Amino acid sequence: MGFRDTLANLVGWGQNTRALTAGDIFLSTEAPIEFYDVGGDNALRISAVYSAVGLIADALSSLTIDCFRKDSNRIRQIDPPRWLDQPDDRISDFDWMHQAATSALLRGNAFGLAFRDQYSRVREVEWQHPSWVSVDETSQWLPKYNVRGQVLFSERTRPGGGVVHVPGFILPGSVQGLSPISLFRHQIETSRSAQQTARDWYSERALPASVLSSKGKLPAGRAEEIQDSIEIAPGGIMVLDGTNWEWTPISIPPADMMFLDAIEATANQIAAIFRVDPEDVGGKPNSSLKYSTVEGNQRKLNVRTLLSWVRRFEQGLRPLMDDPTTEFLRFNLDDLARPDAMTRIKIESEQLSNGTLLLDEARVSNGRDPLTAEQVADWQAWYRNKQSAPADLTDQIRAVIADINKKGD
């Protein structure tokens, strides 16, 4: 019997329970969903919300997670625990992080179920759909988490409690995060209505595209015959007898064109809710800056949008470390804001010169193996920096060069 089966027997899960799937996160179902229902995960049907949530979730899922241990006043990097390499054996680690980020962004909370082995070490973490979890905060001691009918505690307050909780925006006196979809439902519904109006106009509009009218009276049934015989391809040319016929294209009235402005305006509001640039979600740029760089824009996204979510997940996942009192994890935001190749080389060269970076560390960070002893000797002889070398090293280099010249003769 595996550790998951053991925990299932302890908490009494029956056949009516099931694991979380991607379909549960995005509510993909064959049954039709009310078109104007924007509650919960249905908000992803709105392009601006989908863009904002996808942008943040993709960025968080792409970050490297490093683990560290603090010993006295020294911090050193350690190997990640087993659960972090493969947190859920059903999906990839990218999809695992994407599920958690999507849940927190849409519902305000990410709830996970931690499975431990016989030595109380975490082996897996499965994210639960927020609708499966309720939180009882009436107790004067610790909040209780009801996960599909079973009462559990948070790993943060009681190691081994079973529940991993990463809240979003929270208020004093509560441990639950606020759902942005619920708080700003009106703005999201407005965006959905505007998109529906655009859809009706372009694909299901009641008005004809154009009107071909005769200046004279036609025999009975002749108008129907002409209508059936004339076909105008999009962008095509129609030749008319100017004395008898008049062709009038029909466009949407200027007053009804306001739905386009509404889509743009609500996209800006949704961008403000999720703290992303409006142009990233189909809105109108509100910055007067005419010069920007890819690196600068990414650092702006890191500081304004991603940093707060990174810290939430770092704190929420820390109780799962083997020793949470001394071990912690960090998301590397530099993965998304790497400078260009030339700038990166200059930075590494400066760090190598002042001793803050070792040669082996620099090579490993660039995906290369450390140098062998023979390669180090060649490097010192031919590619050393312009600073003066110690006398003994200079003599060694001169001897190597003299030996090479002698062999060449």
pTM of the model: 0.65
Are 107 and 85 in contact by the 8 Å Cβ rule? The answer is no
CATH for the stretch 3-183+301-331: 3.40.140.120
Closest CA to 313 of 299, 325, 328: 328
Give, for 164, the enclosing helix (H) or strand (E): strand 162-167
Which comes out higher in pLDDT, residue 361 or 327?
Answer: 327
Total residues found in the chain within this entry:
409
d(CA 319, CA 313): 11
Q: CA-CA distances (angstroms) from residue 261 to 284, 288, 301?
A: 10, 20, 26
For the chain, the helix, strand and coil percentages under 3-state DSSP, each to the nearest 5: 45, 15, 35
- Amino acid present at 264: E
pLDDT, mean over the chain: 75
Classify the C-alpha dihedral 331-337-343-344 as positive or negative: positive
- Amino acid present at 345: I
According to the model, what pLDDT value does residue 163 have? 95
User: Any idea which residue has 């943040």 for tokens?
Assistant: 56
Range name among 134-143, 228-237, 282-291 with the lowest pLDDT average = 228-237
Give, for 152, the enclosing helix (H) or strand (E): strand 150-154
CA of residue 360 relative to chain centroid, distance: 32
According to the model, what pLDDT value does residue 104 have? 92
d(CA 145, CA 164): 10
Q: CA-CA distances (angstroms) from residue 26 to 102, 148, 184, 256?
A: 9, 19, 19, 33
d(CA 254, CA 256): 5
Hey, what long-range contacts does 68-75 have (CB within 8 A, 24 or more apart)?
Answer: 68/327, 68/328, 68/329, 68/330, 69/323, 69/326, 69/327, 70/326, 70/327, 70/328, 71/326
According to the model, what pLDDT value does residue 97 have? 95
Burial 284-302, CB ≥16 within 10 A → b, else e: eeeeeeeeeeeeeebeebb
Helical segments of 139-206, H only: 180-183, 185-203
Summarised one tens digit per residue, pLDDT across range 249-300 is: 555 555 444 444 555 667 888 888 888 888 888 777 765 555 566 667 778 8
d(CA 149, CA 200): 44
* pLDDT of 14 above 50: no
**What average pLDDT score do residues 363-379 get?**
78
According to the model, what pLDDT value does residue 119 have? 86
According to the model, what pLDDT value does residue 140 have? 73
According to the model, what pLDDT value does residue 69 have? 93
Summarised one tens digit per residue, pLDDT across range 311-323 is: 999 999 999 999 9
pLDDT class of 66 with cuts at 50, 70, 90: very high
User: Any idea which residue has 């001897």 for tokens?
Assistant: 399
Assign 150 to helix, strand or coil.
strand
**What average pLDDT score do residues 46-70 get?**
91
Phi, psi (rounded to 5 degrees) for 114: -95, 130
Q: Which two tokens stand for residue 72?
A: 């006295």
According to the model, what pLDDT value does residue 401 have? 67
pLDDT class of 124 with cuts at 50, 70, 90: very high
Burial 312-348, CB ≥16 within 10 A → b, else e: bbeebbebbbbeeeebbbebebeebbeeeeeeeeeeb
